[in-house]
Structure 1
């Protein structure tokens, strides 16, 4: 407002002020393997003689830290610890800002790199040809809400995951079973298996197994009425990728074997 003292006339203007954030104090590079955690220490100074409290604003996936940070009066060696624990492999940017009404805003640019985790090697499995074996795999949900994992199997001829989809409760665990059905004798059969979720990324596993000679199969107990004939069906799966001819030998109770049937 401009006023003329002699006439008391005045002229006034409306002003609009736009205040941008200051330039970043520093650029910090952070790199971590998914579902692992790394930390960095950020030094802060209090120029005032009385204590001040900063509001801390974190921007970016996987960033963890206190939401407020207090410095004593004239403190020159304050250290804030920032944690980075990504869930999904990617390269992205983030920031951390310290806000206070009296001293203003200080912020740091973050270059964030989330590397995929190495595949977990499961213990080799062995199973008689014609049979099936399995090994348990337990996964943990680090989120505060239920998530669903879906299994993706590279070699579906020999391996499967049961169940193929599994729900994990908030901060809970669940167990699936990796099943192995051999289709060869003595050959090493392998596969990669992924348990995937859009929010949590992938759990990668490497599995292997070898087929062994058939052994004693589970016992069957057919029943029949005395003096009457009945039939009983035995299921047999050919585990090999080619046609298979087998001999069927019936062993009587007295231990004598009948002539083999083809």
Structure 2
């Protein structure tokens, strides 16, 4: 299976995980979105040397991953590139912040080392919380929650269309790659001389497909906005989830 096929398969699996009958999946999308936003905001609010306080925020991820029956292995597999990128952001901190904070035997721990680890943990926490929201909430429910908190309809529409048709784009790329490999069977990968041509062809095909999709939407009465409806009504448990986690996260942040 090619990497593109694996990406398409992963997207389908994430949709299936968001629709399965789990405890966390059964919650209303708005409380999950609000708690996720609060968690990320509180996480990034920690000081660059406050590593011990930051680690306490991981309790939220541990509990929710268990409640949602989310696989850590799948998180690392699907988000490995993003996780690697966020971990590289603070890699230069030890070279700029050389102030010694304390010593462990013969090892001197500088402020740059602590701030590097802190920044990495913040990135991992933010990615993990976002992934948790994606695999426990369908895209339609997530867009509904975004509209409820006042996100502009244009942004929500673009987000929904990109997610809905990303698989179409990936399949188009796969067909182009298959056609290229049939014409160059002994060549490994895509030769750099045809990069421009392939990108141009992909752009033209995408524009043509986008026009077709837009015409289809207009024939079905599209007027500039999707009328989103949540499949789940808000229950007492949803309010308890929001209030409970909000209070717990604020206590951990202040404590």
- TM bucket (normalised to shorter chain) is under 0.3
State the structure with more CA Rg: 1
- Kindly indicate whether structure 1 or structure 2 has the higher relative contact order, using CA contacts under 8 Å at least 6 residues apart: 2
Q: Normalized per residue, which structure has more strand?
A: 1
